[in-house]
Amino acid sequence: MPTDMDERGILQRVLDLAAANVRDGQRPFGAIVVAGGRVVAEGVNTVTSSGDPTDHAEVRAIRAASQAVGGEDLSGAIVYTSCEPCIMCQATGLFSGVERMVFAASSALAADMGFPAPSRAARVQERLRSELPGYVVAGDIPPAVSRVPFAVWIERHDEDRRA
């Protein structure tokens, strides 16, 4: 796990984690936690293999970061994610003291690529966004680049259907 990267490099790393996660049979999501200016943890979504609906990349990365720093307080940390975090992941960040979350792909892009959010979750997420402006922000990654994990997902599942 690289420890010193700029924001664009970190976002590229989460996209690489997400694409690799698909190749491992999982979902196209990755996350990195930066605390004190250093990468302290990474996580990928393992919902498919664990059957645990809370095994999102952001939650796993925050759990690992808490272990890495020796406690639950991640005040000032930043979570970088391959995709706009869901409300559960945002709440986990808030509870742990994460300062903000930066994502590569918007939830709209994810929906366009085949990952629509449940309408209830979207409504709650919109409300949370309006109450915490600037907590979850888009990173400086072009859509063509942030689509890669989803394209790998689609390609893999198209191959599965043809087999």
Cα–Cα–Cα angle for 13, 15, 21, rounded to 5 degrees: 105
The residues that bridge with 83 in the sheet, in sequence order, are: 105
pLDDT of the residue at 23 = 95
Q: Which of 42, 58, 72, 84 is catalytic?
A: 58
* Phi (first) and psi of residue 21, to 5 degrees: -65, -35
Say what the pTM is.
0.84
What CATH number is given for 7-150 in this structure? 3.40.140.10
Return d(Cα 5, Cα 149) in angstroms, integer.
20
Active site (annotated) includes residue 155: no
| pLDDT (0 to 100) of residue 22 | 94
Three-state DSSP state, 58? helix
122 Cβ partners below 8 Å, 6+ apart?
107
Kind of pairing between the strands at 100-105 and 78-83: parallel
pLDDT of residue 4: 56
Per-run averaged pLDDT (10 residues), the chain, 163 residues:
73 96 95 96 97 96 98 96 92 94 89 73 76 78 87 81 61
Predicted pLDDT of residue 130: 78
